[in-house]
Amino acid sequence: MNASSGSRCPFSGASVADVTKTATQGRCPFGFGPANSGTTSADGDGIPEGPVCPMGFGSAKRSRTAQSAVTCTRCDALFYDPVKTECQHYFCRACIQPCTDCLMCGADIGTLIPEPKLEELVDLFMELCGDVPAFEAAVAAKTAADSKSETPGEGRGVCANGTGENGNTVEGQPDMQRGSAHVSDKEAPAPLPVKDDAARADYLLECALRSMAGGNMTAAAARFGRCRDSIVRSAKAAGNFSWPEDTCCRLGDICGSQGVCEQRLGNLDAAEACFKNSIAFLEKCSASSAQVAHAFAVSHNKLGDLHFLRGDLVQARCSYRDALDIRQRTFDLQSKGGGNGADVLVTLSLVTSMLKVADIEEALGSHEAASQCLARSGDMLVSVSGSITPGSAVEAKHRSLQEFWLKSTAAVEARLKDLKLSK
């Protein structure tokens, strides 16, 4: 659904041009009417610069920032493997592929068209670590260079200013020229600012976390991998025989996060490799750090979950036991350190590992071992119940663990009772 000058909003009964001139039309059910659409444009034409109508109607003059032009509207992260729908809207392939209707205008989705040029712009934006002024200057210089090389009659289709062959605005077209500085034909393009590996790793991690939060695990996994490679290059370039502990800890966290993404995508082999890499990096760190110990235990538990999914219960038990040992050491260190004893979160993490071990022991037929783990975990849940703030996230975690403990305890006790009766 293109927002051409002649298109009519079905809720107002008037053309888009008429809607900008009068407030007597029907009210938009999405709240994008002229009365509540925000400020007007700086050139005084009365066209609001607020949010764009989700049905595809609205002004062609609304501005787009450089970053929004390379950002997917579905996952709210930078495009990854961008594609264009037949209705001229742009998404990450992983975001739009499961859909049957366009998320912007509701049109049926047919063919998804790859957009390599848009992908190049995203790569440039990431290479510049999100430096918007540098990105705008680079795009303006490239546009000027491309315009020199074009011959009359070339460049048909969607223009750089977001208009089609007939002059109508194409909704969803990434517009790179808005806000860019004018580059004279006589000016030589300025060299791009060089970003070091450390800055690039920080930005790649930000992009990966944003993709993960937006639900695009394909993009997140790839960007976690690029972030890891950037940190490794930076560490190798330093020439140190042994890497700093904080670097190893960071790499362990990143590999673990990448493994989570691969697991959600169903790539179990890739996920296993990521969790093993995470463990290898974290083994180089001091186990006395609570943060390192937590990440270490999480990676062992995730690896155990993968073994459990594959039906390898013995290997799963080994991984769960490793995680339990790590958390037990952390708990013991805090308990011996004086003060109020171990932290509530450390205690609940230990309970989590105990419940995992109890579950796998029960699955392997070791009912007595499972019963012992459940008895210890139950005592620990009771010991921290008076230190939890009502309504907090910690209380929710405690309640969830307690519910799981009750179900597991009932199942194990019933099994032990059956075994006694059968003797």
Among the residue ranges 194-198, 304-308, 371-375, 385-389, the one predicted with the least confidence is 194-198
State the average pLDDT for the chain: 78
Amino acid at 282: L
Asked whether residue 239 carries a pLDDT value surpassing 80, the answer given is: no
44-65 mean pLDDT: 43
**CB of 353 closer than 8 Å to CB of 297:** yes
Q: Is the pLDDT of residue 47 over 80?
A: no
Which pLDDT score, from 0 to 100, does residue 416 have? 82
pLDDT score recorded for residue 372? 93
**In this model, does residue 155 exceed pLDDT 70?**
no
The whole-number pLDDT of residue 22 equals 39
Dist CA 57 CA 74 (whole Å): 19
Q: How confident is the model at residue 240 (pLDDT cuts 50, 70, 90)?
A: low
pLDDT tens digits, one per residue of 278-294: 999 998 886 667 788 88
d(CA 189, CA 141): 6
Question: Quick one: pLDDT at residue 285?
Answer: 81
**CA angle 355-361-366, nearest 5°?**
135
First and final C-alpha spacing in the chain: 74
Spatial separation of the C-alpha atoms in residues 69 and 79, rounded to whole Å:
9
391 pLDDT exceeds 60? yes
pLDDT, position 340: 55
For 196-336, CATH gives: 1.25.40.10
Confidence of residue 161 (pLDDT cuts 50, 70, 90): very low
Give the pLDDT confidence score for residue 341 in this predicted structure.
Answer: 53
Is the pLDDT higher at 313 or at 19? 313
Q: How far apart are CA 242 and CA 418, in angstroms?
A: 56
pTM for this prediction: 0.71
Q: Is the pLDDT of residue 14 over 50?
A: no
pLDDT of residue 193: 61
Mean pLDDT across 394-415: 92
Segment 110-120 shows an average pLDDT of 92
- So what's the pLDDT on residue 284? 84
pLDDT of residue 149: 66
| Cα–Cα distance measured from residue 367 to residue 365, given in angstroms and rounded to the nearest whole number | 6
pLDDT of 46 higher than 50 = no
Share of the chain above pLDDT 90, in %: 46
Q: In terms of pLDDT, which residue wins out, 394 or 8?
A: 394
Average the pLDDT over 413-420 and give the result. 83
CA–CA dist 270, 142 (Å, integer) = 38
Q: Is the pLDDT of residue 11 over 50?
A: no
pLDDT of residue 244: 81
Half-sphere exposure of 225 toward its Cβ, with a 13 Å CA cutoff? 14
Q: Which two tokens stand for residue 342?
A: 């171990």
> In this predicted structure, what is the pLDDT of residue 335?
81
Percent of the chain with pLDDT strictly greater than 70: 70
**Which region among 57-61, 199-203, 268-272 has the lowest average model confidence (pLDDT)?**
57-61
pLDDT surpasses 60 at 375: yes
Query: Is a pLDDT exceeding 50 seen at residue 163?
Result: no
**pLDDT exceeds cutoff 70 at 4:** no
Among 13-27, 45-59, 60-74, 352-366, top mean pLDDT goes to 352-366
Q: Where do the structural domains in the chain lie, given as residue ranges?
A: 1-63, 64-142+166-183, 196-336, 353-385+393-423
Q: pLDDT tier at 251 (50, 70, 90 boundaries)? A: very high
Check pLDDT > 90 for residue 133. no
**pLDDT, position 16:** 40
Mean pLDDT of 25-50: 42
What dotted CATH number matches 64-142+166-183? 3.30.40.10
